[in-house]
Structure 1
Amino acid sequence: MTSGVSGLLVGRSAELARLVRVLQFAAEGTAGVALVGGDAGIGKTRLITELVGQARECGFNVLVGQCAELGDTLPYLPLADALRGAEPGVREAAAAHPMLGQLLPGMESAPSTGLTQQRLFGSLLGLLADVQPVLFVIEDLHWADRSTRDLLVFLSRMVQTERVCVVGTYRTDDLHRRHPLRSVLAELKRLPTVMNVELGPLKSGDMSDYVTTLGEVDAQELGLIVSRADGNPFYAEELFAAVAEGDSLPDGLASLLMSRVEVLSEPGQRVLRAAAVAGRRVEDELLREVSGLPLAEFEEAVREIVSRGLLRVDGYGYTFRHALLQEAVYTDLLPGERTRLHAAFARLLTAPAELAHHYLAGHDLAGALAASAEAGRLAERLGAPAEAHSHYDQALGLWERVDGAAELAGESRAELAFRSAVMAADSGDNHRAIVQLRALPPTSEVNERLAYYLYETDDQSRAIAAAERAVEGAEDQGALARALATYARTLLWSPRHREVEALTTRALETARAAGARDAEVGALLTLATYVEHQGDVARAHELVETASAEGTGDLAMDLRARFHHARIHYEQGVLGQAAEVADDGIRVAFDTGLRWSTYGTDLRFLRFLIHYVAGEWDQAEAVAGSFPARVGTLPEAILSSFALFVEVARDLPAVESRLSWLRPFWSDELAAYMSRGLAAEHALWHGDPAAALDHVRAVMAPMIEGDPGTLRLAAIGLWALAELGTTEGADDLLSRARFAVERGPTGEGGHLGPEGRAWAVRVEAEWHRVHGRLDVSLWRKVVAAFDFGFVYETARARWRLAEALLAAGDREGAQAEWELARETAGKLRAVPLENALLEFGRRARFGGGGGQGDGGLTAREVEVLRLVAEGLTNREIAGRLFIAQKTVSVHVSNILGKLEVSTRTQAAAAGRQRGLLA
């Protein structure tokens, strides 16, 4: 479907490629036919518009004819339409064929008695031969008259070696079981010259891309439009307009949808109305009972509905073809009719969630409260925390309106609200959990959870206070063990960190005595982090492995154990084992519904980082593709930030869009640390060191002194200062980095893993570079420090080492480091680093990798050359690199000139000889 602004074709590249292939065969003398089907509004016309544009670029004469909903009253209407809209040369050629001339403007009064089908078809074949190559498009075949259907069959069977491509479009949702086009399509699809192209709904990512081209829309509105449009671009356009005007279901769209319902028989409409009350899906037996129709009449009504594509058969029931159709039918019901149907479903249903929905819609508040509470407990057991939270909140919202609410819910209001808060946290909404817990009576259990979630939102002082209250109010040993474990955790990075070991020891003793495995694991993990920071890595490993050895019954705690087990291996450079543990944790998070919980999110970004550090960038980019780009919640924003690592390093087009969505979350310290730190690198690669420095200073301002995270930021800030040619602020950045190394966040020293130590050395080297000193020994240390498996940073350090060696007069050593860095940058497709290395190589007058010359190609030209060597066309390269086809053409011309060759094949061969295609 076309974008409302840019005119780009979104999400249909595969379908377009198939149609272009038929067009190319036709250009070479093998005629072909393509049948393009899809629901109304799915994007058939936009796809054909793109195909027509490409056909004209390739020199095709284009005929486009439209069928109309007129039955057989105007035979050959699309052929007449196509001839009337054709280029003058084609119309002149048609006029030379008397049979076709009668279809042209001004000839309608000519005698038509001789307009026999056989003679007309023969004349059309003659015309197509005269003006080939030809693309003949017949749109909306579902409205085609009988003569046009015959014409389509004739062309499909008779065009063989002519340079002709015939394309027909039709609506699949209009083809009921007795539609005359059905048998024609079935016959044609068996022919070897006919290609069938079905346009299904756009994927959610493509729909998001499409909607954002229509105009400004926030994350919540975008999500609503995408979910309701269900992959249909036309519906998305209508919903976008409705959102702008504050409407729910646009009148025009509702009328369009209901026009397809109104052609049903009365029993068919009755069944469809009942199905709409059931929701998107309904069981066959349940629908029959509620409709009240005799079995034979019910089955005939359902057969009619299914044949018209309004419902689809789905297992033992039926699903609405589109969610908006269900919404339109439901909205069209009278209030009393709607209430009676909901009550009928409620009498027959036993599933709690559906019962709650129908009780509520049928105004049975007591039934809705009881069913909502039970639905929440069921969702909790099934590992669906977001759904559980929603059901519990619905029950809580009804609480004051129902007598005997506690008996109906099966527990007190406080107990239900506590469950709701825990489920909110498990689904990733810690802030909602905190709000709900603060509204509850302050028991030890409530205060312990409040402290736990406050700590995860970095509210340290309030977390400590809540944990102290939890310990003081503990009523039994299990509650005391959990309170002590959480209390120790809240003190971990505070000035009172020395109390952690004693508190965790006490928590472990209490937990083991009480059999509270979750509290025991929590204490073990906190103690492991504490001793790791003190430098006893071996003991930390042992504690984490003990914590991970068996489950606790608390899924969130089990995920926390897996995360720390993977993290400690990652931070010690043991990437293989870290990956294995992270993969297992991610599987558990998805299986249990905790994918958006704190550690469900953390495990996913850790797995991404392992790929990134190990140089597995294609895998990292694939993982990043699953991270939400258009974010609406803080967990989504944090996860999205990590995708920037590889997107910035490869200079992918997604960077600017992702940053624009992340800006509203820069008030959060972690989201800002990740996304603004990488925004700073992006600015540096694009020649804007001042903007990079602004990002660094903004992120570092609220960070506590000694935070190890300042090391990376300080290095980036010093890089920016070196580019600006000023030393102002360099000493402050060095001082903060050294404090993090020497004193740590507690102010009393701490342990840094291999990556932390590497960044610390790089800060020192960058500081010297700011002051005009390219210190070879320091940059050698940076290379060695990152060479524990951090592929990209090792290459970046080699770049600086090569500069230092060249400045020191060691040209041979400099070229050796430069070649190693270029080899890595090429394999990673790290375009900005490749560009920087090529520029340095030109200034240093180095040859290409392996001593071969690179012909002066830029990094982008090398990237284009690699795709040329794969056999891709300019259009395909443009699609792969997200650049204009004309830009690709310029790059290819430059490549041919620089490599002194005349063909693409020769360019590929020259690239291989020069080592550019590694």
Structure 2
Amino acid sequence: MSTAIGTAPNRAQPVGDDVPDVGGEWEHESMPSFAPSSAMVGRDADLAVVRRAFESAVDGMPAALLVEGEAGIGKSRLLREFAVEVADRADVHVGWCLDLGAARTPYGPLTGILRSLVETVGVDEARQAVGVGAEALGMLLPALASVPTERAGTSPERLRDAIATLIETAAARAPQVLIVEDLHWADESTLAILSFLLRTLTRGRILLLLSCRSDDVRRGDAVSRFIAEAARARLLERVALQRLEADAVRALAEQITGHPLSEGALERVQERAEGVPFFVEEIAGCTAGPLPDGLRDILLGRFDRLGDDARRVVQIASGAERPLAHPLLVRLTDLGEERLDDALREAMSSGILVISDDLYRFRHALLREAVHADLLPGERSRLHRSYAETLEAYCDDTESGDAAALAYHWQLAQDERRALIAAVEAMRHAKARFAFGAAARFGELALDLWPHVPDAADAAGVAHLELLHTLGSILRNAGDGERALAVANLALDEVDSSTIDPRLHARLLRNKALYLVNLGRAGAIPLLQQALAIVDENVDDDRLRAELLNQLASRRMIAGDRVEAIAIATEAAEVAERAHSDDQLSIAANVRGASRAHLGDIEGGIREYGIARDLARGSTAEMRYRVNYSDLLGLLGRYREALLLAEEGLARARVLGVERTSGSIMAQNMAVPLLERGDIARVEEMLARDFMQGTLRVFRMYATMTRVRVLAWRGRSAEAADAMREWLPAFRETGGVERQIWYDSVVMAVAVAESAGDPRGALAAILAMIDDEGPALLHQRRLLLQAGAIIAELRASGDDVVEASRAVAAAWAAQSSQLRAGTWSSLLDALLVPTAEALDAAIDLADGEDVPVTFRVVTRIERARMLVHAGERAAAAPLLADAEKIADELGHVQLQAAVAEFATAAGLRAGDEDEAALLTARERQVLALIAEGLSNRQIGERLFISAKTVSVHVSAVLRKLGVSTRTEAALTARASAVLS
């Protein structure tokens, strides 16, 4: 089996004739050739954890580990030992994050890993596997792109999907071990890809190993958030390396010195090294003179003993953020070939520098940092100037020379003008590759440098307002809505209406409106109106005007002003017609369709959506049509059609190469109809993969509403209440400008109250919704139907529900005739005014596919109550049995409890009924595996279901068997005929 180790797939390529591309994306060698003379000690338990994860990956269950600890603790050594160990069983690919200060290289460690993966599977197979994603991947690996053009056909989604597909393709050939070193220096684009991969790669022989220097991770920064979120979602197992105990320190030191240590010597080593392996090695290697006193002296001890030439070479090497090729050192040192060779041999024999695949690097990052910190300020400035000048002189262009490195070196060289030029170029370079987090850092660096450069606009090639406009958009795409809004405000504060380009002024206003929408805040409509006024008066640009009109119409519609929205969208369509813009025509029809439907004109709304569909074919508006129309179908209770349309949208997303990103928003839009149809397991799987991670706040609100409903469904009322409480302030803020978010907050309140056994509180939330004077949307229909079920439950408890029934009936009757007709009306009538005939009909209606599945249980319980009240207990029994079976199949804890409570109170549960009759077929399977002693995860793997679904079945088994532990359940199973 092939391995990347030793094959040097990530060797830096020369630029021009002989100068290495130290300014380009550095692709580190697969594994350093240097290895300490001592064997690794004290890490057996940690290595065992990595081995277990690897075996899981080999079995097809992807795993991810974060190996973390302080500097010098042995993270890289552990991973190197493991990689060598599995080299004959897996392909190993290594990438390194680079230390470029605050402005980090986009996709730092990924380029080398991806190049190694492509070499593993072959260029042709890689291009075939990723399909349309080849152009996106070609931004990082030019060999994959068919033509070196601008990336008009690419997107962040395609790039992420292409990376995941490439990894999966390689994993089909052999187990893949992906190692990312020095995560503490990772840029946001790298973290975003890693987060995406952790959630997406759910199958395949893949092991992801990350190393991180824990003392360099600051609380609240991007790396800290990534680690916390991944660990909280159980996507990443953390392996914290501890300092060595005294016995391990002795073993390591004695290996290096070659003789036993006295107790006194061991005590001195332990006192200075404090159990850190790297420091133990350094101290043990000090064979001459007294032991160094401090850590700085320990690190510089080897350096201080070098000759002048070797010291000079090491100092120069410390200025590089990546390994160096020999030709570059020749140019930087100006020593000549022979003197340089001698100096390098001395530095390597002293254990400071090592050769890794024909490149020179420090044996440990701590050595480089210590040498670099020991330079005088003037020395450091001159060193980085020489690096920057060499990059500019010997690289063909700044893009291939890595603008990030230029910005880094010019900044440390204290040349603010050249640093500004490089920062702006690095921002553009990162933005073009969808590395928005890195682009934002460089853009902010440019803003910081701007006041210090007299001719900043001429130097940077961009006006200050244009820079702010671009940076705001970058920050928005990076997911930092607050900073995007702050930059937009800064830009608008600088606007001089007498001199600014009207188009730019309008776009700045439009962007601020967009940022407010993203944050769920008020104020977008006046800004769009202002932008439109500027365009109407000063700009002859129908496409821009149509775009602004559509955005304004959309905001009006979402706020509930549907008549106004239709008028504005109609005007947008007229302007878009003149501009020959089909996508804007489609969006206008989309807005009209939603508005007409919410006004009660369902047929008119559907016709508009048909127009939107026809105009959107092949344009950027297609996914918007599918998302919005499937949402409308779900609100109308046409769940089958909604799911079919959404699934077609996912198929289209696959063609576009955005299945796991933009397509995931479509998948989230499927969650509500899936839940209403009772496919709770599929919804839980979607939520477990956290499709909304990193998206706009409003989308996270939609996902939160679904999560709260799922938790309530499963009877986890406290967790549901906590999730609602955490997000309620955001729902209240956004609900003031987005009516559908306000309705979602009511949905959550009802679900939480019902799950907690508080039907009165749930009904109160719905009645408050009815009393609210805001515009009604289709979202209220499902809540009114739920009110019928709650009223039926309260009536059975003896509550006076007459007034509530009237209020709900009146609200239902206030809908248009198109909305009042149909199955839902009959169901609601039967629950509000129950009769035998109405409930019998309602049971049949509830079994239809476009009715919320919970009403199959609700209608049966209500009919059984009526029969018991009339003394017809025998007729009620089969209805309750059906209700119990349905509730169990759904895993709906609240309904299960309601059925059990009524059956017990009515005396309809047979006391001598054996356990086997209580368990569903799936529960019997789960019980059999419990009896075998399997864990939830093992049961899930055996039955091909999620661990969460297993936990629900286990809870049902324990409840039905009347036991409290898995052990008791297993004993009951063995002692009875439950499993026979």
Range of TM-score over shorter length: 0.5 to 0.7
Change in 2 beyond 3 A, CA 1:800/1:515: same
C-alpha displacement at 1:549, in angstroms? Answer: 0.2
Where do residues 221-620 of structure 1 align in structure 2 (5 Å cutoff)? Answer: 223=225, 226=228, 232-234=238-240, 256=276, 259=279, 262=282, 336=377, 343=385, 346=388, 347-348=390-391, 350-430=401-481, 432-438=483-489, 439-440=491-492, 441=495, 443-454=505-516, 462-474=523-535, 475-476=539-540, 477-492=542-557, 497-533=562-598, 534-536=601-603, 537-552=605-620, 559-571=623-635, 572-573=638-639, 574-584=641-651, 591=658, 595=661, 602-620=665-683
2:754 is aligned with 1:684: yes
Question: Which of residues 842, 848, 859 in structure 2 aligns to 1:787?
Answer: 848
Structure 1 counterpart SS, 2:240: helix
d(CA) in 2 for partners of 1:227, 1:737: 45
Change in 2 beyond 3 A, CA 1:261/1:432: farther
Alignment match, 1:707: 777
**Share of identical aligned residues, percent?**
19
Change in 2 beyond 3 A, CA 1:715/1:412: same
Structure 2 counterpart SS, 1:707: coil
Which structure is richer in relative contact order (CA contacts within 8 A, separation 6 or more)?
Answer: 2
1:179-238: CA deviations, max 9, x gaps? Answer: 9x9999999xxxxxxxxxx99999989999xxxxxxxx989896166489996453799x
Whether the 8 Å CA contact 2:417–2:453 is kept in 1: the answer is yes
- Of 782-791 and 401-410, deviating more is 782-791
C-alpha displacement at 1:530, in angstroms? Answer: 2.7
Structure 2 counterpart SS, 1:353: helix
Change in 2 beyond 3 A, CA 1:680/1:905: same
1:557-593: CA deviations, max 9, x gaps? Answer: 5643442254345453314422324425766998599
Change in 2 beyond 3 A, CA 1:501/1:874: same
Where do residues 55-134 of structure 1 align in structure 2 (5 Å cutoff)? Answer: none
Alignment match, 2:814: 742
Whether the 8 Å CA contact 1:39–1:173 is kept in 2: the answer is no
2:690 is aligned with 1:627: yes
1:763-804: CA deviations, max 9, x gaps? Answer: 666656xxxx67762685487268334564344434544444
Question: Which of residues 695, 700, 711 in structure 2 aligns to 1:647?
Answer: 711
1:818-850: CA deviations, max 9, x gaps? Answer: 4444444333333443333333344445569xx
Change in 2 beyond 3 A, CA 1:371/1:592: farther
Change in 2 beyond 3 A, CA 1:680/1:283: farther
Change in 2 beyond 3 A, CA 1:801/1:254: farther
1:742-761: CA deviations, max 9, x gaps? Answer: 25xxxxx597599xx77776
Q: What is the identity, as a one-letter code, of the residue corresponding to 1:687?
A: G
- Of 571-580 and 808-817, deviating more is 808-817
d(CA) in 1 for partners of 2:312, 2:840: 78
Structure 2 counterpart SS, 1:910: coil
1:638-689: CA deviations, max 9, x gaps? Answer: 4344233333322369656645654564544377754674464244334345
d(CA) in 2 for partners of 1:854, 1:451: 64
Segments of structure 1 that go 5 or more residues without pairing to the other structure are 1-35, 49-169, 188-197, 209-216, 238-250, 744-748, 913-918
Structure 1 counterpart SS, 2:854: helix
d(CA) in 1 for partners of 2:349, 2:645: 55
Whether the 8 Å CA contact 1:369–1:398 is kept in 2: the answer is yes
d(CA) in 2 for partners of 1:434, 1:863: 52
C-alpha displacement at 1:545, in angstroms? Answer: 1.1
Change in 2 beyond 3 A, CA 1:631/1:549: closer
Whether the 8 Å CA contact 1:451–1:463 is kept in 2: the answer is yes
d(CA) in 2 for partners of 1:834, 1:495: 38
Where do residues 750-899 of structure 1 align in structure 2 (5 Å cutoff)? Answer: 777=838, 780-781=841-842, 784=845, 787-789=848-850, 792-807=853-868, 809=870, 814-846=876-908, 853=913, 855=915, 866-870=925-929, 873-874=932-933, 876-877=935-936, 894=962
d(CA) in 2 for partners of 1:38, 1:792: 57
Change in 2 beyond 3 A, CA 1:582/1:888: closer
Query: RMSD between aligned alpha carbons?
Result: 6.3
Q: TM-score when scaled to structure 1? A: 0.59
Change in 2 beyond 3 A, CA 1:252/1:575: farther
Change in 2 beyond 3 A, CA 1:299/1:799: farther
Q: What is the identity, as a one-letter code, of the residue corresponding to 1:578?
A: L
C-alpha displacement at 1:287, in angstroms? Answer: 9.2
Q: What is the identity, as a one-letter code, of the residue corresponding to 2:610?
A: E
C-alpha displacement at 1:550, in angstroms? Answer: 1.6
Change in 2 beyond 3 A, CA 1:878/1:464: closer
Structure 2 counterpart SS, 1:708: coil
Whether the 8 Å CA contact 1:343–1:359 is kept in 2: the answer is yes
1:49-101: CA deviations, max 9, x gaps? Answer: xxxxxxxxxxxxxxxxxxxxxxxxxxxxxxxxxxxxxxxxxxxxxxxxxxxxx
1:355-381: CA deviations, max 9, x gaps? Answer: 334444443433333333333333433
C-alpha displacement at 1:408, in angstroms? Answer: 3.4
Whether the 8 Å CA contact 2:626–2:649 is kept in 1: the answer is yes
Whether the 8 Å CA contact 2:784–2:812 is kept in 1: the answer is no
Q: What is the identity, as a one-letter code, of the residue corresponding to 2:814?
A: E
Structure 2 counterpart SS, 1:492: helix
C-alpha displacement at 1:625, in angstroms? Answer: 0.8
Whether the 8 Å CA contact 2:709–2:748 is kept in 1: the answer is yes
1:361-414: CA deviations, max 9, x gaps? Answer: 443433333333333333433344444444434433433332332233333222
C-alpha displacement at 1:609, in angstroms? Answer: 3.1
Q: What is the identity, as a one-letter code, of the residue corresponding to 2:532?
A: V
d(CA) in 2 for partners of 1:261, 1:753: 80
Whether the 8 Å CA contact 2:709–2:720 is kept in 1: the answer is no
Q: What is the identity, as a one-letter code, of the residue corresponding to 2:711?
A: E
Q: What is the identity, as a one-letter code, of the residue corresponding to 1:550?
A: G
C-alpha displacement at 1:870, in angstroms? Answer: 2.8
- Of 298-307 and 866-875, deviating more is 298-307
Q: TM-score when scaled to structure 2? A: 0.55
Change in 2 beyond 3 A, CA 1:186/1:414: closer
Count of residues in correspondence between the two structures: 695
C-alpha displacement at 1:284, in angstroms? Answer: 6.7
d(CA) in 1 for partners of 2:846, 2:956: 40
Change in 2 beyond 3 A, CA 1:736/1:570: closer
d(CA) in 2 for partners of 1:710, 1:547: 31
Whether the 8 Å CA contact 1:681–1:692 is kept in 2: the answer is yes
Whether the 8 Å CA contact 1:896–1:903 is kept in 2: the answer is no
Segments of structure 2 that go 5 or more residues without pairing to the other structure are 1-39, 53-72, 89-176, 184-193, 200-208, 211-218, 244-270, 286-298, 392-397, 498-504, 939-946
1:893-915: CA deviations, max 9, x gaps? Answer: 856999x9996665785357xxx
d(CA) in 1 for partners of 2:879, 2:470: 59
d(CA) in 2 for partners of 1:495, 1:883: 42
d(CA) in 2 for partners of 1:373, 1:894: 68
